[in-house]
Amino acid sequence: MLVRTLVFVSVAAVLATQVPRFIEKDAETVPATVSAADVAAATPASLPSGVALLKADGRGHYTGSFKMNGKPVEGLVDTGASLVAINETTARRLGISIAGLDFKYPISTANGRTDAALITLQRVEIGTVRVEKVEAFVLRDKALSNTLIGMSFLKRLDAYAAEGDTMRLTR
Protein backbone atom coordinates (compact mmCIF):
# COMPACT_ATOMS: atom_id res chain seq x y z
CA MET A 1 0.00 0.00 0.00
CA LEU A 2 2.81 2.41 0.88
CA VAL A 3 4.63 1.58 -2.35
CA ARG A 4 1.49 2.24 -4.37
CA THR A 5 1.04 5.61 -2.64
CA LEU A 6 4.67 6.58 -3.25
CA VAL A 7 4.38 5.63 -6.94
CA PHE A 8 1.19 7.67 -7.27
CA VAL A 9 2.73 10.72 -5.58
CA SER A 10 5.85 10.43 -7.76
CA VAL A 11 3.82 10.22 -10.97
CA ALA A 12 1.67 13.18 -9.87
CA ALA A 13 4.78 15.26 -9.11
CA VAL A 14 6.33 14.49 -12.51
CA LEU A 15 3.07 15.29 -14.32
CA ALA A 16 2.61 18.54 -12.40
CA THR A 17 6.05 19.76 -13.44
CA GLN A 18 6.16 18.43 -17.01
CA VAL A 19 2.62 18.82 -18.41
CA PRO A 20 2.79 22.66 -18.54
CA ARG A 21 5.96 22.37 -20.62
CA PHE A 22 4.18 20.12 -23.16
CA ILE A 23 1.13 22.37 -23.26
CA GLU A 24 3.27 25.44 -23.97
CA LYS A 25 5.13 23.55 -26.70
CA ASP A 26 1.85 22.42 -28.32
CA ALA A 27 0.40 25.94 -28.08
CA GLU A 28 3.38 27.30 -30.01
CA THR A 29 2.94 24.79 -32.85
CA VAL A 30 -0.82 25.23 -33.32
CA PRO A 31 -1.52 27.93 -35.90
CA ALA A 32 -4.04 30.49 -34.77
CA THR A 33 -7.05 30.89 -37.05
CA VAL A 34 -7.62 34.43 -35.80
CA SER A 35 -4.70 36.79 -36.23
CA ALA A 36 -3.80 39.67 -33.96
CA ALA A 37 -4.61 42.00 -36.85
CA ASP A 38 -8.10 40.48 -37.04
CA VAL A 39 -8.63 41.15 -33.33
CA ALA A 40 -7.34 44.71 -33.61
CA ALA A 41 -9.60 45.33 -36.61
CA ALA A 42 -12.61 43.64 -35.02
CA THR A 43 -15.14 46.10 -33.73
CA PRO A 44 -18.60 45.18 -32.49
CA ALA A 45 -19.97 46.37 -35.85
CA SER A 46 -17.59 44.16 -37.86
CA LEU A 47 -18.22 40.96 -35.87
CA PRO A 48 -21.20 38.72 -36.48
CA SER A 49 -24.01 39.16 -33.97
CA GLY A 50 -23.44 37.05 -30.87
CA VAL A 51 -19.64 36.92 -31.22
CA ALA A 52 -17.01 38.65 -29.09
CA LEU A 53 -13.22 38.41 -29.23
CA LEU A 54 -10.96 38.89 -26.22
CA LYS A 55 -7.24 39.56 -26.48
CA ALA A 56 -4.83 37.98 -24.00
CA ASP A 57 -2.88 40.39 -21.84
CA GLY A 58 0.88 40.18 -21.27
CA ARG A 59 0.41 37.36 -18.74
CA GLY A 60 -1.77 35.34 -21.10
CA HIS A 61 -5.07 36.15 -19.34
CA TYR A 62 -8.13 36.92 -21.43
CA THR A 63 -9.67 40.18 -20.28
CA GLY A 64 -12.38 42.42 -21.61
CA SER A 65 -14.86 45.20 -20.99
CA PHE A 66 -18.05 43.48 -19.89
CA LYS A 67 -21.36 44.96 -18.81
CA MET A 68 -23.12 43.64 -15.74
CA ASN A 69 -26.66 44.82 -15.17
CA GLY A 70 -25.89 47.48 -17.79
CA LYS A 71 -22.80 48.90 -16.03
CA PRO A 72 -19.25 48.60 -17.43
CA VAL A 73 -16.95 46.17 -15.59
CA GLU A 74 -13.47 44.99 -16.54
CA GLY A 75 -13.43 41.20 -16.28
CA LEU A 76 -10.91 38.36 -16.44
CA VAL A 77 -12.09 35.05 -17.92
CA ASP A 78 -11.45 32.25 -15.41
CA THR A 79 -12.54 28.77 -16.51
CA GLY A 80 -11.52 27.51 -13.07
CA ALA A 81 -14.14 29.67 -11.36
CA SER A 82 -17.52 27.95 -10.99
CA LEU A 83 -19.38 31.25 -10.95
CA VAL A 84 -18.83 34.83 -11.96
CA ALA A 85 -17.18 36.52 -8.96
CA ILE A 86 -17.28 40.20 -8.04
CA ASN A 87 -16.12 42.10 -4.99
CA GLU A 88 -18.22 44.29 -2.68
CA THR A 89 -17.16 47.53 -4.38
CA THR A 90 -18.26 46.26 -7.79
CA ALA A 91 -21.52 44.93 -6.33
CA ARG A 92 -22.33 48.36 -4.88
CA ARG A 93 -21.58 49.97 -8.25
CA LEU A 94 -24.04 47.54 -9.84
CA GLY A 95 -26.74 48.64 -7.39
CA ILE A 96 -26.58 45.58 -5.13
CA SER A 97 -27.11 46.26 -1.43
CA ILE A 98 -24.27 44.65 0.54
CA ALA A 99 -26.21 44.92 3.82
CA GLY A 100 -28.76 42.39 2.59
CA LEU A 101 -26.21 39.78 1.50
CA ASP A 102 -25.53 36.57 3.40
CA PHE A 103 -21.84 35.65 3.19
CA LYS A 104 -22.46 31.99 4.04
CA TYR A 105 -20.82 30.06 1.20
CA PRO A 106 -17.29 28.86 2.00
CA ILE A 107 -15.06 28.98 -1.08
CA SER A 108 -11.38 28.57 -1.88
CA THR A 109 -9.59 31.20 -3.92
CA ALA A 110 -6.01 31.80 -4.98
CA ASN A 111 -5.77 33.98 -1.86
CA GLY A 112 -7.06 31.25 0.45
CA ARG A 113 -10.41 30.37 1.98
CA THR A 114 -13.17 32.97 2.34
CA ASP A 115 -16.94 33.26 2.47
CA ALA A 116 -19.12 34.53 -0.35
CA ALA A 117 -22.71 35.63 -0.92
CA LEU A 118 -24.72 34.21 -3.81
CA ILE A 119 -26.57 36.63 -6.10
CA THR A 120 -28.11 36.57 -9.57
CA LEU A 121 -27.02 39.23 -12.04
CA GLN A 122 -29.80 40.38 -14.38
CA ARG A 123 -27.45 40.16 -17.35
CA VAL A 124 -23.79 39.86 -18.29
CA GLU A 125 -22.68 40.97 -21.73
CA ILE A 126 -19.67 41.72 -23.86
CA GLY A 127 -20.24 43.24 -27.26
CA THR A 128 -23.25 41.45 -28.76
CA VAL A 129 -22.85 38.40 -26.51
CA ARG A 130 -25.51 38.58 -23.80
CA VAL A 131 -26.58 36.15 -21.07
CA GLU A 132 -29.53 36.77 -18.74
CA LYS A 133 -29.84 35.72 -15.07
CA VAL A 134 -26.24 34.76 -14.31
CA GLU A 135 -25.38 33.39 -10.86
CA ALA A 136 -22.45 35.14 -9.20
CA PHE A 137 -20.59 35.24 -5.92
CA VAL A 138 -19.88 38.49 -4.08
CA LEU A 139 -16.64 38.36 -2.10
CA ARG A 140 -15.20 40.80 0.38
CA ASP A 141 -12.88 43.39 -1.20
CA LYS A 142 -9.85 41.96 0.61
CA ALA A 143 -10.55 38.50 -0.89
CA LEU A 144 -10.98 39.58 -4.53
CA SER A 145 -9.42 42.53 -6.30
CA ASN A 146 -10.84 42.06 -9.80
CA THR A 147 -13.90 40.57 -11.48
CA LEU A 148 -13.76 36.95 -12.61
CA ILE A 149 -15.92 35.75 -15.48
CA GLY A 150 -16.53 32.15 -14.47
CA MET A 151 -18.42 29.15 -15.75
CA SER A 152 -21.88 30.42 -14.75
CA PHE A 153 -21.47 32.77 -17.74
CA LEU A 154 -19.27 30.65 -20.02
CA LYS A 155 -21.35 27.46 -19.90
CA ARG A 156 -24.38 29.41 -21.13
CA LEU A 157 -22.59 30.33 -24.37
CA ASP A 158 -22.83 28.22 -27.51
CA ALA A 159 -19.04 28.07 -27.59
CA TYR A 160 -15.89 29.60 -26.21
CA ALA A 161 -12.42 28.80 -27.45
CA ALA A 162 -8.91 30.14 -27.06
CA GLU A 163 -6.65 30.14 -30.09
CA GLY A 164 -3.28 31.80 -29.76
CA ASP A 165 -3.75 35.10 -27.97
CA THR A 166 -7.46 35.39 -28.81
CA MET A 167 -10.54 33.97 -27.11
CA ARG A 168 -13.75 33.78 -29.11
CA LEU A 169 -17.08 33.84 -27.26
CA THR A 170 -20.16 32.80 -29.27
CA ARG A 171 -23.81 32.94 -28.25
User: What mean pLDDT do residues 88-116 have?
Assistant: 94
Distance CA 64, CA 75 (A): 6
Distance CA 6, CA 97 (A): 51
Q: Please report, for residues 55, 76, 116, the alpha-carbon distance to residue 94 in angstroms, rounded to integers and kept in the order given.
A: 25, 17, 17
Class of domain 36-170: mainly beta
Distance CA 159, CA 105 (A): 29
27-68 pLDDT, tens per residue? 444 444 444 444 444 445 567 889 999 999 999 999 999 999
Record the pTM. 0.72
Going along 69-150, which residue ranges are E strands?
71-77, 84-87, 105-109, 112-126, 129-139, 147-149
Indicate the average pLDDT of the chain. 82
